A and B are shown apart, each in its own frame.
Chain A
Amino acid sequence: MIALGLILLTSLFTAGLIVRVKSIASGRRGPGLFQPLKNIWVLFRKGSVYSEVSGIITRTAPIMVLSALLVASLMVPVAGFPPLISFRADFILFAYLMAFSRFMMIIISFDSGSSFEGMGASREALYGMLIEPALFVLIAGLTVFTGGTSLATIFDLTHREGYSYVFGLIVAYIIGNITVVENSRIPVDDPKTHLELTMIHEVMVLDLSGFNLAVIQLTSLLKFAIFGSLIASAVIPWDLAPAIRIIMFFAVQLLFASAIGMTESFRSRYKMNRNQQYLLTISLISVLFFVIILFTKNIF
């Protein structure tokens, strides 16, 4: 319960935090911490405009996207606090719920018969497929390392079994990069641009409005918090006092959001046709991590 609460709480402010960091880095004061939430609230109160072409998919699938992510968030451990649902190989359900929401996003983008949105859908599908091995190899590595079987036990046991902080940092690095792809941030995608040749996520939601758009934006907030919590679980030891863990959790979220914000401020986007290399590199780092684990466990 605490885990879910912390995730939901984090999802409220990280997006605002990133915007704030970016503003400060570019010499502005920037909007308040809760501006993204306020924007979503405005969207909830607005009416919807549907394309003449779109049908039932646009009207229902955004809800599926959010619900799938919510269920996925039930399985995420947070800094030693057990998740609500935890069972053997639950990360499969976790990853496949992510894939389900991606599937729904793609069909939403095709529903309006647009000449742009398919472009984003095509990239989303391809990149989503290319990034999945990174997550799975990472989890496989942690499974070998800890002998744990679920997301919660894998991350908990990591801290019990001769844990080295270098490992924690590598795991955090890999998950951080996966977040960048899954959440469509720089350097893979730019959440601010609508230039059709360069964007992925933003182009897919061009024809959504009102309630539907709000739901999709909530989803990306939640997704951010989910990955942030995974990172926190990887670096925070489970055996500290709960209060200290909570404080550390928020510190990690702060660091994570600022890292993303700083990257977005000082780094340019990759050329679109270079993205595949970037994605494969993340998977390779994962594989490297796996090999290191094999060495430490003397399996070679």
Chain B
Amino acid sequence: MFYLIVILIITGVVLLAAGKRSSAILTALSLAAGVTASSWLALSVLFNKAIPAEINEILTNAGIVCDSLSAVLILIISFTIVSGFIYSIGYLPPYTRNKPELWTKAHYAALFWLYMSMIAVVLFRSGFAFLVAWEIMTISSFILVIYEYDKKGTIQAGINYLVQMHIGMLFILFAFIISSEGSVGVSFDNLQYYFSRHSNWPVFLLFFIGFGLKAGFIFLHTWLPEAHPAAPSHVSGIMSGVMIKLGIYGILRVSISLQGDMYVIGTSLMVFSALTGLFGVMMAILQHDIKRLLAYHSIENIGIIGIGIGLGIFGTATGNTLISVTGYTGAILHTLNHSLFKSLLFFSAGSVTSRLHTRNVEQMGGIMKYMPFTAMAFLIGSVAIAGLPPFNGFISEYLLYFSLFSGIGELEFYPLLIFSLTMVSLVLIGGLAVFCFAKVFSLIFLGQPRNELIESPAEAGRPMLIAKMLPVVPIVIIGVVPVFIVAPLASLTSGIFNQAHLFDTTTLMNPLSYISVGVIVMASVITLLIVLKRINEKRRLPVTGPTWGCGYTAVNSRQQYTAASFTQEYATLVRPVIKNGASHVSFREDEIFPGKRDFHTSSADIIRSKIILRPANLIINLLRRAAVIQTGRLQHYVLYAMLFLVLVFLLTLLEII
């Protein structure tokens, strides 16, 4: 702990004091050092390599324990931070102009702090050190979020985030304190002892609320859709890709120690996560702000991961190793996958928004012609996040379905009911995600620009393209040859979560190799057809003409299908569940030459307005009433002081105090 703080303070001071260029270089160097060291540690744990005794001693003295779960998370975090940092080199310069130089340096310092604290979070077991790292993580990400402090709403979103994170930390603190009973310190290692003697669900619930606030489960998610649009894109990518996953890490870490109540916890976690996923994707479709949309999709994916953890806990509870291992493996794999495609999507979206200076998808269109690589990156990300083959999102969702259907085949009535409902939710989540990403990709990149472009947007710069290339590689590899990653991951999870029964990974290998076969067949069919098409088009050269307009020739780009019209039927369908509306003034009968009209669509996050805004407004109103005594006149304050003295005098006289 001590070392960490020393390192952070030293690097912070150095980074702030250094010159503009050298500060960036120093950040890169310190990140590189951190990434190398932590990845080395993670890899040696994963491959069972012995760590040199001296280093091991230092680590133990510092309270660092790295098991394979931490190791996996370290690799995920390091990968995303590297691509995020490379991206920021290309992304940030246009925004640094109107900001003090120190602020940009602080931004980079905070990026490094965030990275170190995230690594620390997964390495520390003692509650105190964990919470300090957790707090540093919150504060440094807060600094990152409010980078564009001069933009409307940024500070508010940042403070909203900061407050909610501290409430979450309070819950974790309570949980630690309660569970420390009967031992010296607070630690994750005490949990097993505590859980074996007490009812498990209350403390789990406390942990869940605390970690769930970070992860963004439903009812706890309201900071997410506010903070992501406010933050710069690389920060959104890192936060959504890995930082919220540390909430998932916390839940996983606690669930290792669970001893009882697992049946209840597992099933309720499944239901709750299914709700989270459905809510996230249902809200996402109605968003026209691209980054807010992606933020809601993070909620959806947290729901999918939660379903996996629920399945894992349930499987362990009932002694069904197959359900348990596939559930946990699906959850961890989806954590990895989501960090890949979500950062990819945020990076691509960021390139587009920084060129077009708007986040509203209704004002975009036709960008693929100007930014083909960004468009392809976004397309791959979209297909992956919608859980479609041949990319990685499909593999993790397949594992979850595998687990669910294994349960459906053999369970009794009540768990069967829950499994079926979760399965249907997962199906709906998948369908809605296809709906949403087909829409958003098409609206941003296809067709014609809906607004006249002042200058044709150039393709993103090289650092940004490299940052987008990085996640694409594992996305494709995991999608095409899943065996290589799922097999080690499955034996790893069965080692962590089911020490009693070791899991035979061959059950999973057969299906996964068939998936690879399917994908390879598909690729070869595609190649064959493309060759055929080439031959065909060589014979008869294709010609171009205007888009079919039903005989109408004065088509302009504003008449293209829009996001509001694409989602209109859906919006009407979900209106009972999700508040949304469209308002416009219709034409009068005598209006021969209609004037300009406005059309406005809106959707409200009902949970945010009911759970956060309403109580907050209530408190503000109460305090405003109380503020009557604050008149600002000196005489009144002297009067208050005198009244207080009289009160004290009277109270002592009556021997009350």
Contacts and interface: CB of A to CB of B under 8 A. Distances in A.
A89 B544 contact: no
A160 interface: no
Interface in A175-189: none
Interface stretch (A29-37, A65-73, A237-245): A65-73
A8 interface: no
A67 B525 contact: yes
A48 B534 CA distance: 12
A144 B408 contact: yes
Contacts of A122: 561, 565-570
Given A71-B521, A144-B416, A112 B570 contact: no
A204 to B, nearest CB: 11
A117 interface: yes
Interface in A61-109: 63-64, 66-68, 70-71, 74-75, 85-90, 92-93, 95-97, 99-100, 102-103, 106-107, 109
B537 A51 contact: no
A93 B398 contact: yes
A44 B537 CA distance: 10
A113 B447 contact: yes
Interface string B369-408: 1001000000100010011110000100110011001101
A107 B560 contact: no
A290 B420 contact: yes
A48 B511 contact: no
Contact of B447 (A70, A112, A133, A143): A112
A162 to B, nearest CB: 17
A67 B561 contact: no
Interface residues of B, number: 85
A147 B427 CA distance: 21
Interface stretch (B92-100, B201-209, B430-438): B430-438
B389 A55 contact: no
Given A99-B431, A122-B568, A144 B447 contact: no
Interface of A: 44-57, 60, 63-64, 66-68, 70-71, 74-75, 85-90, 92-93, 95-97, 99-100, 102-103, 106-107, 109-119, 121-123, 125-126, 128-130, 132-133, 136-137, 140, 143-144, 147, 149, 196, 206-207, 210-211, 215, 273, 276, 290, 294, 299-300
Given A92-B398, A113-B446, A122-B561, 10 more contacts: A48-B537, A51-B545, A74-B521, A75-B518, A87-B514, A114-B548, A114-B560, A115-B549, A118-B442, A136-B423
| Nearest 4 Cβ contacts at the A-B interface | A118-B561, A129-B431, A113-B447, A47-B540
A46 B526 CA distance: 21
A226 to B, nearest CB: 15
Contact of B434 (A63, A102, A130, A290): A102
B211 interface: no
Contact of B529 (A54, A66, A88): A66
Contacts of B366: 53, 113
A70 B555 CA distance: 37
Contacts of B530: 60, 63
Given A133-B428, A210-B542, A111 B526 contact: no
Given A49-B544, A137-B424, A89 B438 contact: no
A133 B562 CA distance: 28
B428 A118 contact: no
A66 B489 CA distance: 33
A247 B211 CA distance: 61
Contact of B409 (A117, A144, A276): A144
Contacts of A95: 427
Contacts of B548: 51, 112, 114, 116, 206-207
B557 interface: yes
Contacts of B368: 55-57
B166 interface: no
A112 B545 CA distance: 11
A211 B547 contact: no
B89 to A, nearest CB: 29
Interface string B152-187: 000000000000000000000000000000000000
Contacts of A50: 542-545
B280 interface: no
A140 B514 contact: no
A202 to B, nearest CB: 12
A299 B532 CA distance: 54
Nearest to B379: A107
B448 interface: yes
B355 interface: no
A90 B514 contact: yes
B196 interface: no
B573 interface: yes
B635 interface: no
B561 A89 contact: no
B438 A96 contact: no
B409 A147 contact: yes
Contacts of B557: 113
Nearest to B563: A118
Contacts of A99: 386, 388, 430-431, 434
B517 interface: yes
Given A74-B521, A294-B413, A100 B389 contact: yes
- Most chain B CB inside 10 Å of its own CB: which residue of A49, A99, A115: A115
Contact of B402 (A57, A88, A273): A88
B52 to A, nearest CB: 44
Interface string B349-369: 000000000000000011011
A18 B527 CA distance: 32
A151 B540 CA distance: 42
A96 to B, nearest CB: 6
B533 A207 contact: no
A107 B544 contact: no
B543 A49 contact: yes
B550 A100 contact: no
15 contacts: A51-B544, A55-B369, A70-B522, A85-B518, A89-B405, A92-B402, A96-B387, A96-B388, A113-B446, A118-B562, A125-B438, A129-B435, A130-B431, A196-B550, A211-B536
B569 A113 contact: no
B510 A63 contact: no
B460 interface: no
A143 B570 contact: no
A123 B572 CA distance: 13
A167 B543 CA distance: 53
A93 B46 CA distance: 30
Contacts of A60: 530
A299 B446 CA distance: 51
A193 B442 CA distance: 25
Interface in B222-264: none
B544 A125 contact: no
Given A106-B442, A118-B566, A53 B545 contact: no
B515 interface: yes
